Structure 1
């Protein structure tokens, strides 16, 4: 899947100290997200609580999935240069996207039904599981937002819009793969088709309109930021990093990977026919 190229494109400003945990997070995020696709609500609840606890400092146990070893390593590597308060935010981000994103989607996947477009937009913001990746931009620049700035409605809205835009990118780029599976329903194109009885072409057009509207709002907010005082330049730097993350991810989709080719995707529920792999 060339995920090393994904990390390099998403975090181009990372210094040497940050490179290893950033690459490790991109790899972990991808594997974890793929495994959640096939987990039950009960399993996802368990993963959400356990992953949050590990990021906060819990020791691994023999019952933990093997890939949680990487979560513990990300925690230990980031602790070297990021404060405890930031680690708490990263832990909460992992819990939030897993509990309120992946878990909420599981019912629809199990029943092969779709929510309304309004509800889907909210759920997809979290189920794309991208919030932890945005926090790694702060690690990339070794920047820590104060609690007051972190809670600012504009910062929260910007994070929300960035996450939604990544979700729409992912849904559109991965559509061919998901249509080949014929069991995926939580994709904006499929949700639009089913809710409004649209053709595939018309649903894609509407999906792009939603993407473009979110992008326009994001650009407008970035061009008229509140006054964050002495932290103004730090906020602008993070906005640059968040934008590079999204553009880098999109370039990865288009140039570097065959991840979304149905013939090449690493389906978690299938064994490869080539045992040498």
Structure 2
């Protein structure tokens, strides 16, 4: 595959967009600026990246308060990748443990830590809308994502395809995003449903499709930056 290859992927379903996209764009800009440790130039990129449009396609039926809390979470995911990736393994492991404790309600956020404050607010917004079982699943699924980021630290070179797929499924953060989709549906899957082989396979396929699609479109940029965690570059 060449860098100028014009191959594209197609989405076979009708595009749905939340009617509150315009309002969300304004409020997301305010939310992004609350991450004061992120350089202004990077925050500007977030604001012009079309995040509000993308989030509106993920949650087309969400009420506005649900849409905003989903946005809060997705901006948090972006900061994980763009800011915390420069920390050491020991530092980031400790940071992730703090994040998990805050979402569990076992720890208060540090006043001058914007990310901890955002997670505390996310928990506050979620609790009135979800069950305790759902909340624990969401936290576990975020931990799954954290573990993927920690696993990525083990590799200076290209991993095997098998190892990469295992890591990429975690890095996609899709499980926690799929959990949030239940908010707009008005019901929450039971643990019995979540453990059914069909549901497990469906979630796995979603993780892989999302991760591999990202790899497909980002490989030229990642090649230039010397990054190794991309399926196309590994192949």
Q: TM-score range by the shorter chain?
A: 0.7 to 0.9
Alignment of 1:81-96 (within 5 A): 81-96=129-144
**Counterpart contact for 2:142–2:173, Cα < 8 Å:** yes
Taking only aligned residues, the RMSD between alpha carbons, in angstroms, comes to 1.8
CA deviations 1:129-180 (Å, max 9, x no partner) are: 2321111101121221111111112111111110111100111122222122
Match of 1:97, SS state, is helix
From 223, 228, 232, give the equivalent of 1:185: 228
User: What is the CA distance between 1:53 and its match in structure 2?
Assistant: 1.3
SS in 1 for 2:61: coil
Asked whether the equivalents of residues 175 and 207 of structure 2 are also in contact (C-alpha less than 8 Å), the reply is yes
- Note if contact 1:117-1:191 (Cα within 8 Å) is conserved in structure 2: yes
SS where residue 21 of structure 1 aligns? helix
1:149 is matched with which residue? 193
Could you say if the C-alpha distance between residues 172 and 64 of structure 1 is closer, same or farther in structure 2, counting changes exceeding 3 Å? farther
Q: Return the match for 2:117 from 55, 61, 69.
A: 69
Contact residue 212 and residue 231 of structure 2 kept, 8 A = yes
Query: Does structure 2 retain, via aligned residues, the 8 Å contact 1:39–1:106?
Result: no
Q: Which of 38, 41, 51 lines up with 2:89 in the alignment?
A: 41
Within 5 Å, give how 1:1-277 maps onto structure 2: 1-62=49-110, 65-99=113-147, 101-108=148-155, 111=156, 113-182=157-226, 184-192=227-235
- Contact residue 109 and residue 116 of structure 2 kept, 8 A: no
Q: C-alpha offsets along residues 24-72 of structure 1, whole Å, 9 cap, x if unaligned?
A: 1121121123234333322232233222211111333438842221111
Alpha-carbon distance change, 7 to 81 in structure 1, aligned in 2, over 3 angstroms: same
- Larger relative CO (CA 8 A, sep 6+): 1 or 2? 1
Question: 1:87 Cα deviation (Å)?
Answer: 0.8
Q: How many residues align?
A: 187
SS of residue paired to 1:119: helix
2:12 maps to what in 1?
none
Q: Give unmatched runs, 5+ long, in structure 2.
A: 1-48
Contact 1:51 1:71 survives alignment (8 Å): yes
- Whole-angstrom distance in 2 between the partners of 1:63 and 1:41: 24
| Deviation (angstroms), 1:3 | 1.4
Unaligned residue ranges in structure 1 (runs of 5+):
193-277
Provide the residue aligned with 1:268 in structure 2. none
Inter-partner Cα distance in structure 2 for 1:180 and 1:65: 32
4+ residue segments displaced more than 6 Å: none
| Alpha carbons 2:111, 2:117 under 8 Å: kept | no
Q: Does the 8 Å contact 2:110/2:117 carry over to 1?
A: no
- TM-score normalized with structure 1 length: 0.63
